[in-house]
Amino acid sequence: MNEEMKETSSVIVPLEIAPARRQDATRSASSWRPIFAAFMAGSMALGGLLFAAGRMDVLGGDEPLAYNVSAEAPAESGIQTASFNGAGSGSLSSIVSQASPAVVKIETKTKASSNRNNTLSGSPFFRQRLDNGGSSGTSGQGDDSGTLQPSGTGSGFLFEAEGYILTNEHVIDGADEIDVYVQGYDEPFKAKLLGSSYDLDLAVVKIEGDKPFPALALGNSDASHVGDTVVAIGNPYEFDSTVTTGVLSAKERPIQIDDEQGTRYYKHLLQTDTAINPGNSGGPLLNMNGEVIGINTAVNADAQGIGFAISSSTVSSVLDRLKHNETIPKESSPYIGISPQYNRRYAGRLEAEQPQRSARGRRATAIARLCGRHPPLRCHHGRRRSGHLECAGAYRQNRSFPSR
Q: What residues act catalytically?
A: 170, 201, 281
DSSP 69: I
Rounded to an integer, what distance in angstroms lies between the CA atom of residue 119 and that of residue 110? 17
Contact 307, 272 (CB under 8 A): yes
* Beta carbons within 10 angstroms of residue 55's beta carbon: 11
Closest Cα partner for 221 from 306, 327, 296? 296
Contact 231, 96 (CB under 8 A): yes
Residue 68, SS3 per DSSP: helix
Rounded to an integer, what distance in angstroms lies between the CA atom of residue 11 and that of residue 315? 80
* Beta carbons within 10 angstroms of residue 73's beta carbon: 10
Residue 151, SS3 per DSSP: strand
Rounded to an integer, what distance in angstroms lies between the CA atom of residue 306 and that of residue 126? 12
Q: Which residues of 193-206 are buried (b: 16+ CB within 10 A; e: fewer)?
A: eebbbbbbbbbbbb
Closest Cα partner for 290 from 3, 27, 98? 98
Contact 161, 182 (CB under 8 A): no
Q: Which residues of 294-319 are buried (b: 16+ CB within 10 A; e: fewer)?
A: bbbbbbbeeeeebbbbbbbbbbeebb
Contact 150, 109 (CB under 8 A): yes
